[in-house]
Amino acid sequence: MGDVLTYLESPVNDRLLGFARPLADAAGGDLVALVAGAEPGSKDASAADVVLEAAHPALSPYLPEAHQAVLAAAINEVSPDLVVLENTTAGLDLGAAAAAATGRPFVSYCVELAIEDGEARSVSGIYGGQLHATANTRLPAVFAINSVALHDAPQAAGRGERAELAPPAKIESLRTTFVEPVEQPDEGVDLTKADRIVCVGRGIGSKENIEIAEELAEALDAEMGASRPVIDSGWLPKARQVGKSGAHVTPKLYLSLGVSGAPEHVEGMQGAELIVAVNTDPGAAIFHIAHYGVVADLFDIADELTNLLGE
């Protein structure tokens, strides 16, 4: 009986459909994919059973207010047991708002989600990934799934039936406008192609200290990468950011210095072949993803490594 409604961003996210398919099977209903845009008909979401198309010029480029209204309308139309979004900007914009607008509970940052005895049981990473919270939620409800938990496209095709969702009247009187895309300078760095990355986090402490990591990177013939706070502080250029809002990297070696391992960072580096982490805090979340860990002051280790490699 219970349907699962997925909110799909453009381009269509097959991994979210792959995540949601077993939930639809467990709930005994259809996998419904909402595609909202100026031309939703051009989107292939045939891995779903029903592709719900909402077409309106205000839906692309993305406007939170417009997409929120459409998602709430879709929830009211389909009455799904579960609504699942990816915890991207759209998830952070729409999930809580759509849940509140339709009177449903919302659980965010999920890394696991299953249906047991008619209830949802979810595990979410909070406190920067340091702790996992298991929650029980009565259905119907809305869930935002962390990107790290999305793996494969669905095994089998769905029915792929197409249906139309009339955009709600609200979309004609939006108080949000799209002004312009922001052109970003090409900084000539592409971390996605790097074989080795030395990644510094807030533990590096200051702009002056970056040099210490750079010497190590040179000795390793590695590119410099950084966590978001380092980039936000202006210590390294944006093109060197690793994570959700930076590069998704897959080097042979990823060596982190003073990075705590927040889920938004891990999203961008979990695909590295060999992960080595140096952190003074033995409880740092990065040690859950690293292959080799060192609990020590990053400056001591960086110095010794640079010396040793320079010999």
Ligand X SMILES: Cc1cc2nc3c(=O)[nH]c(=O)nc-3n(C[C@H](O)[C@H](O)[C@H](O)COP(=O)(O)OP(=O)(O)OC[C@H]3O[C@@H](n4cnc5c(N)ncnc54)[C@H](O)[C@@H]3O)c2cc1C
Residue type present at position 207? K
- List 26, 92, 153, 189, residue binding other proteins (CB under 8 A): 92
**CB-based contacts of 64, cutoff 8 Å, min separation 6:** 93, 94, 176
Rounded to a whole number of angstroms, the minimum distance from the CB of residue 260 to other proteins is 8
258 binds, among other proteins, ligand X, none (CB under 5 to 8 A by kind): ligand X
189 binds other proteins (CB under 8 A): no
Number of residues in contact with other proteins under rule CB under 8 A: 95
Within residues 26-85, the interface with other proteins by CB under 8 A covers 61-65, 68
For 230, the token pair is: 């380092």
Q: Is 106 in the site for other proteins (CB under 8 A)?
A: yes
The two three-digit tokens of residue 40, written as one number: 């939703």
Of 102 and 227, the one with the shorter C-beta distance to ligand X is: 227
Query: What part of residues 210-229 is at the interface with other proteins (CB under 8 A)?
Result: 220-221, 228
Instruction: Give SS3 for 253.
Output: strand
* Least Å from the CB of residue 171 to ligand X: 26
Task: Return the SS3 of 244.
Answer: coil
| Residue 180 contact, options other proteins, ligand X, none, Cβ 5-8 Å cut-off depending on partner type | other proteins
CA 209 to chain centre: 30
- Is the Cβ of residue 48 or residue 289 nearer to other proteins in the bound state? 289
Sign of CA dihedral 91, 92, 98, 100: positive
Binder among 190, 232, 271, 310 for other proteins (CB under 8 A):
232
Dist. CA 150–CA 146, nearest whole Å: 7
Distance CA 262, CA 266 (A): 6
d(CA 158, CA 51): 10
126 binds other proteins (CB under 8 A): yes
Given other proteins, ligand X, none, residue 220, with its beta carbon under 5 to 8 Å by kind, binds other proteins
Give the C-alpha separation, 32 to 52, whole Å: 7
Q: Which residue from 100, 36, 103 is spatially nearest to 64, judged by alpha carbons?
A: 36
290 binding ligand X? (CB under 6 A): no
Distance of alpha carbon 145 from the chain centroid = 8
> How far is 179 from 58, CA to CA, in rounded Å?
12
Binding partner of residue 211 among ligand X, other proteins, none, CB under 5 to 8 Å per kind?
A: none
- Residues in 194-223 at the binding interface with ligand X, rule: CB under 6 A: 201-203
Q: Among 27-35, 42-50, 157-165, 236-244, which window interacts with other proteins (CB under 8 A)?
A: 236-244
Cα 76 to Cα 24, 98, 135, 212: the distances in Å are: 18, 10, 24, 56
Residue 137 interface partner, choices other proteins, ligand X, none, CB cut-off 5-8 Å depending on type: other proteins
Q: What angle do CA 68, 70, 74 make, to 5 degrees?
A: 115
Q: Is residue 250 near other proteins by the rule CB under 8 A?
A: no
* Contact flag: residue 284 with ligand X (CB under 6 A): yes
Backbone angles phi, psi at 93, to 5 degrees: -80, -40
Q: Which is nearer to other proteins, 24 or 97 (CB)?
A: 97
* Contacting ligand X within 109-168 (CB under 6 A): 128
Q: Kindly list the residues in this chain that would bind ligand X in the complex (CB under 6 A).
A: 128, 201-203, 227-229, 241-246, 258-260, 262, 264-265, 268, 278-281, 284, 297-299
